[in-house]
Amino acid sequence: MNESLIDKENQGKIKFLKIQAERAFYLDEFKERIAIALTEEQLTSGVVYPEIFEAMKKDGVAYIKMKREIALKFLKPYIMEAEKMNIRYTLVDSLNLLGDIGLVVVMKEAFDNDDREIVIKKIDERFKEVGLYPEYVKYFGRKICEKHYSLVKEKLPGYELKFKKLTIFNQLFGESCPICRIEKEKNKKW
């Protein structure tokens, strides 16, 4: 009988420690309340993830949390959007934090499903998953042809805004689509 009491006591302690470790990983928040997260590497890549903005638009968002040690220039787009949407944001000191999570969108209510993906995949991986070249990421802010612009718009809505459209006028002056060049190079190898 004593063994079962000790087991229950130890099980309770282990469960408590697991919950505390999980909270330390998610910027001192319970995993059940996290809608979406970014790693430090994703934040410092200089790429702004539109998925965060979409998550911030959902009903029930409580606030966003970000690691204070990350340079403000990388956090600024998310802070500005939070201010526009009147969403509270907090910078967290990372003395007692574990892992590499750099930003989380926290909901007021816990999610029922614990099997969901919380951390957004890296952008180049997302492009690969939908059948686009991962090299698209290298050309954010550049001009691409209508064909490739439409492909991005169709397969990864929101990311087409990372590009400009290449016009006929640009082509007359010798500008070309960098994705078309990659496509030609890859087709030569076959």
Tens digit of each residue's pLDDT (9 = 90 or more) over 10-56: 777 777 667 666 777 788 888 888 999 999 999 998 888 888 999 99
**Top-confidence residue, 99 or 130:** 130
Domain range summary for the chain, segments of one domain joined by + = 2-107, 123-189
CA–CA separation, 158 and 30 (whole Å) = 29
Neighbours of 130 (CB within 10 A): 12
Kindly state which CATH superfamily the domain 2-107 is placed in.
Ribosomal protein L30/S12 (3.30.1330.30)
Buried b (16+ CB within 10 A) or exposed e, 86-111: ebebeebebeebebebbbbbbbeeee
